[in-house]
Amino acid sequence: MRETFVTNLTRLAKDDESIFLVCGDLGFNVLEGFRDSYPKRFLNGGISEQNIAGLCSGLSREGYTVYFYSIGNFPTLRCMEQIRYDIAYHNENVNIVAVGGGYAYGSLGTSHHATEEIGMLRMIPNMMVTSPSDPSEVKDILEITSKNSCPSYMRLNRSGEEIIEYQNNFSLGDLHHAYKGCDAPKKAFISNGAICFEIYKDLVAGDVKADLFSLPVLKPLKKENIFHQLVKYDEIIIVEEHQLIGGLGSAIQEIMYDHFSSCNLTTLPKIHRIGIQDTFQSLAGSQDFLREKAGLFNYRNHI
Amino acid sequence: MKSQRTFSHKISADAGLHISSKVIELCFKKNAAHMGGALSITDFLSVYYSFFNDDELTSLFYSKGHACTALYATLGYFNYFDEKELESYSDNGSIFTSHVSHHVPGVELSTGSLGHALSVASGVSYAKKNTDAKHRSYIVLSDGELNEGSNWEALMFIAHHQLPCTIIVDYNKLQSFGRITEVIELDPLDKKFKSFNLDCEVVNGHNHLEIFNALNSLSDFPKVIILNTIKAHPLKYAMNKLESHYYPPNAEQLTEGLKNIKDHYQVES
C-alpha cells in the first residue's frame, strides 16, 4: 500500500504543483523518489509531529495540498489537538497518511500499534477518514484527496498487499463489493484495512455463500445507500483491526439504528462486531499473531 | 492596511490609550477574565499595528489567545471592523469569542490552546521562503505558554531553516496559577533562545520607542524579542498581581484604572 501511495503521489505531483509531502523523519527506501523529483515540495520536518501538524496547516494556508506521512500513532495520536484545531477547525487541505495501521508493525510493540486513531479522528468535524482495503482503494482515495480541499486521514498497512477484484466501481462513502458468493446471499461481511483481504481469501477459498464489502471511507458516508443495501441481509459480520469502540462497526451500527428508528421496517439484520476488545497487545509477534491474540480471526466462526 | 514605518510617540500612544481603555471597559462590562495578560501586550500591539503591519507583507499570529480583548480592541481601533461590533464580545451568538477567533476580520488564526501558533506560522514562513516571497511572520507568545513543548519543536525548526519570523514573548512573569519562578523557571530566557541559534533582544515592553527599534532592526532571519512587561500594566490596583488573570475591575476600579491609563499615556506622549 505504501508503494502505491508514494508512486501515485509522485505521479500526481508532476501535473499538480500544489502537492507537498512532509514526513516525520522516516520513509527510508520509500520516499526518496518523491524527494528527489520534487525537492522544493518535500520536507523532512524531523521527529516533531506536533510541530509538523501545525506547519502543515501553515503550508495549506499558502495554497499547498499537503500530505503528512508517518507511522501509525505519530501523525495522529501524538498531535491530535493540532489536527483538531490547526487543521480541521480551519478546514485546511492537509492529508495525513499513516503507514502501519492496526498491528502491521506487530513486533515493534504497543507504541507502534495504530488501533485507536480511526475512532478519534472520526469524531473530528471536517475530517475525511479512510482505511483502504487494498492498493486499488489507496489509489482511488488518493485521487480524491488530491483534488478536494478538506482535511483527511488515510490508514495504510505496509507493503506487498494484493489487489481485490471488486464487483463494482469505487464510490466515495459507499460499500465496495469485494466478493459475491451467490445471488442474494443472507449473510454479508463488512471490513476495511488489510484484514479485509484475509476475509476475501477465506471466502474465495471456501466458496462461501456470502457477500463481502469493503467500506474504505468511514467518513463521509452515504448513509441511506448503506442502510438500504445492508437491511436486505439476515446477518452482518463487521470485522476491523481497531478498537471496537468508535470504529467501523460503530459507524455501521449508528447508521442502522438511526435509520431503523425512522423507517417502517420491523426487523434489522443480526449484527456481529469483531474488533479489539478494549485491550492492548503487549507481546511481540507478527501481525497475524497479534490479530489472533486479539480475537480478530473469530470472523471465521461465522463463515 | 499598510502602516508608515516612522516612529511617532503620539500615534502609538494614542493607540495604547484607546486599546488599554477598551480592554478594561470590555472586561468590566462583560465580567470577563484575562485582563492582566491583555494589558501587558497592548503596547506591543499598539506599536506593531501603528508602524509595522502590512496586510501583504506581514502576518501576525497571536498565540496567547486568552488575551483576546487586546487583539480585538486593536483590530477595532485600526478599522478591521466597526469598533461598535465589539460591544457583543462574548455574548450569545457573537463572533468575538473569549479566545481569539479567526472569524473576526483581521485575525489570522484561532488560538486559545497554547503552543499552536508558532508551528502554523513556521509553515506559512517556510512556504513563503520556498517561493522567494518577501514576507515576515510575527508570533506573539505568552511566557507561561513556553511550558508547552511544541513551541520548542517549532523554535528548532525555525532556527534550522532560518525562517523570517519575529517571535515576541510577553514576559510578564505571572502565569495562570503562580509566578513563573514558582511554576517552571524560564530564566535565563534570552540565553535559551540564543542557544537555539536565534537572535534575541530584550526590551522594555511598555516603552514604545524600544519596541519600535527592536522591530525596526530586523534582517531576513528569525529574531526573538523578549518584552519585559508587567501584568495588568498600568493599573495601579492590579499590576503584577495573579488576580488580574481572573478578575475584571469593579466600577470603582474601572474609574481608577481608566485614570491610570490616561495618566500613563499622557506622560508617555
Per-residue pLDDT of chain B (269 residues), as tens digits, is 555 589 999 999 999 999 999 999 999 999 999 999 999 999 999 999 999 999 999 999 999 999 999 999 999 999 999 999 999 999 999 999 999 999 999 999 999 999 999 999 999 999 999 987 899 999 999 999 999 999 999 999 999 999 999 999 999 999 999 999 999 999 999 999 999 999 999 999 999 999 999 999 878 899 999 999 999 999 999 999 999 999 999 999 999 999 999 999 987 55
Q: Count interface pairs A-B at CB distance under 8 A.
A: 83
| B208 within domain boundaries | yes
> Do both A121 and A6 map to the same domain?
yes
Pick from B199, B216, B104: which is nearest to B158 by CA? Answer: B199
- One domain, residues A94 and A22: yes
CA distance B227 to chain A (A): 24
Do residues A128 and A19 both lie within one domain? yes
Going by C-alpha positions, the residue among B220, B218, B224 that lies closest to residue B200 is B224
CATH code, B163: 3.40.50.970
The closest CB to that of A58, out of B102, B113, B120, belongs to: B120
**Residue B119 to residue A58, Cβ atoms within 8 A:** yes
User: Could you tell me the residue range of the domain that residue A243 belongs to?
Assistant: 176-302
Q: Which residues of A touch B123 (CB under 8 A)?
A: 54-62
Domain-located, residue B2: no
> B229 lies in which domain range?
9-268
Under the phi-then-psi rule, with left for phi > 0, alpha for psi from -120 to 50, and beta for the rest, what region is A184? Answer: left
Cα–Cα distance between B241 and B144 in angstroms, integer?
A: 15
Vertex A156 angle, CA A155 and A162, to 5°: 140
Task: Please give the Cα distance from A2 to B46 (Å, whole number).
Answer: 51
Q: Provide DSSP, A162-192.
A: PPP--SS---TTS-EEEEE-SSS-SEEEEE-
Element spanning A33, H or E:
helix A32-37
Q: Where residue A117 sits, what CATH number does that domain have?
A: 3.40.50.970
A202 is a domain residue: yes
- Asked whether residue A160 is assigned to any structural domain, the reply reads no
R_g over Cα of chain A? 19
The beta-strand segments (E) located in chain B are: 58-62, 136-142, 165-171, 174-175, 178-179, 199-204, 223-228
Domain assignment present for A168: no
Give the count of domains, chain A.
Answer: 2
A141 with A180, same domain: the answer is no
Total number of domains constituting chain B: 1
pTM: 0.96
Cβ-nearest to B126 among A48, A50, A55:
A55
Task: Let me know whether A183 and A241 are in one domain.
Answer: yes
Q: Would residue B1 count as lying in a domain?
A: no
Distance between CA atoms of residues B139 and B215, nearest Å? 12
Pair A46, A147 in one domain: yes
Helix, strand, coil share (%) of chain B residues, nearest 5: 50, 15, 40
Specify whether A9 is located in the same domain as A127: yes
The pLDDT, as a whole number, for residue B217 is: 85
Answer yes or no: do A49 and A183 share one domain: no
What are A115's three cell numbers?
488501533
Look at residue B92 and tell me if it is in a domain: yes
Identify whether residues A134 and A221 lie together within a single domain: no
A165 within some domain:
no
In a domain, A163, yes or no: no
Shared domain check, A238 and A140 = no
Here the cell at position A223 is 448513509
Percent above pLDDT 70 for chain A: 100
